[in-house]
A and B are shown apart, each in its own frame.
Chain A
């Protein structure tokens, strides 16, 4: 029997996805847009709460959906988001061992990996993309901290 929380999360994911679709993108450089990755934040929250396994599957399909609708090349965000789900899901496993700062570093490092991988697979590796990768990683991280404080009252990252 499917748990009610799964249905709730599924519906919430659909909502998040629709918001992501219509979220405005900011032009940084020629042919280089910055768009807040709300799905990434949502997957991060899910990973911390539910652990790795189920969220890797969600991240894969969520990324695939994002690839199909927003980006156009399949396999980019499904790959990078699966990696993020795996890395951030470690916080669920080692919450009691890792300090809050370590958890922050893990999340930020995962975001960096996410955008490095997606940037490499879509545009190739170049120094000019470093500011884009940093901004794209930092903004969701800040938003995640805000969400943690406002919605979860700081309980996402705790020992």
Chain B
């Protein structure tokens, strides 16, 4: 049977009558029509499922691409926020240290009254570069043209308040700081120990003056500490205040060990520098 024979007038008559019948049927609002309509919808859904599936895949792909983009952007924002948080923490720590150090220095000045009262100013600065040449230095972003002009030979502290070094060269907008770890660095320190007089059962504080010299990395030694001084590990060595560069009471290093069994008049004291050299982003200059 040829296909053209199917499309004769009988076929058209049937087709037209079916179309009219269906139009009439679907125009009535009975429960049976609604049921049939639901079935038709199911069949249409089944027939169009491949198309829907195909479109879904495309949509998912597009959505995935958009999500990937937004994920990258979110990650960038996140890392930015993390950086801000770290910076914020560091600055907060700086503020706390600054207020603490200012208090200590003011007290010291009031108690001592030995010298003329000196107004102390903590100048915050950012470390811009770090040299690893023959002498260990860092570059900071303040100099002569700063609101508080920087000079040479000013004490530099880290954000925890530990001694970091001193300014050795000052430019208009930047300065070079010699670190405490540099082999040519030396600073006068004092260590306060408790001495118990067994006869009188009396306790007195003994202040011993010495000299801090760096050795390797964050370690150093204290020279000139008398053998009569009882140093225990953990004792903090502070700047003595004898020098014109460093004010008194700046924490310098922590005692690791003290050895009196030698042929020298002084004991061998090994110390660890308190400043954290791994996170040198901000510093203070004592003006």
Contacts and interface: CB of A to CB of B under 8 A. Distances in A.
A74 to B, nearest CB: 4
A57 B24 contact: no
Interface residues of A, number: 27
Contacts of A120: 36
A60 B25 contact: no
A53 B10 CA distance: 5
Contact of B35 (A72, A86, A124): A124
Contacts of B58: none
Contacts of A19: none
Contacts of A78: 17, 20-21, 24
* Residue with the greatest number of chain A CB neighbours at <10 A, chosen from B13, B21, B30: B21
Contacts of B27: 74
A24 B68 CA distance: 73
* Residue with the greatest number of chain B CB neighbours at <10 A, chosen from A83, A122, A123: A122
Interface residues of B, number: 21
A79 B21 CA distance: 5
Contact of B32 (A63, A86, A89, A122): A122
- The binding surface of chain A is classed by DSSP as helix
Interface in A98-124: 120-124
A79 B32 contact: no
Contacts of A57: 13, 17
A67 to B, nearest CB: 8
Interface string A64-94: 1001000011111011001101100100000
Interface in B28-73: 28, 30, 32-33, 35-36, 39
B22 interface: yes
B9 interface: yes
B20 A60 contact: yes
Interface of B: 9-10, 13-14, 17-18, 20-28, 30, 32-33, 35-36, 39
Interface of A: 51-53, 56-57, 59-60, 63-64, 67, 72-76, 78-79, 82-83, 85-86, 89, 120-124
26 contacts: A51-B10, A52-B10, A52-B13, A56-B13, A56-B17, A57-B13, A57-B17, A59-B17, A60-B17, A63-B21, A64-B21, A64-B24, A72-B30, A73-B25, A74-B24, A75-B20, A75-B24, A78-B24, A79-B21, A82-B17, A83-B18, A85-B14, A86-B10, A89-B10, A120-B36, A123-B32
Interchain residue pairs A-B with the least CB separation, the first 10: A75-B25, A79-B21, A75-B24, A52-B10, A82-B17, A74-B24, A60-B17, A75-B21, A56-B13, A78-B21
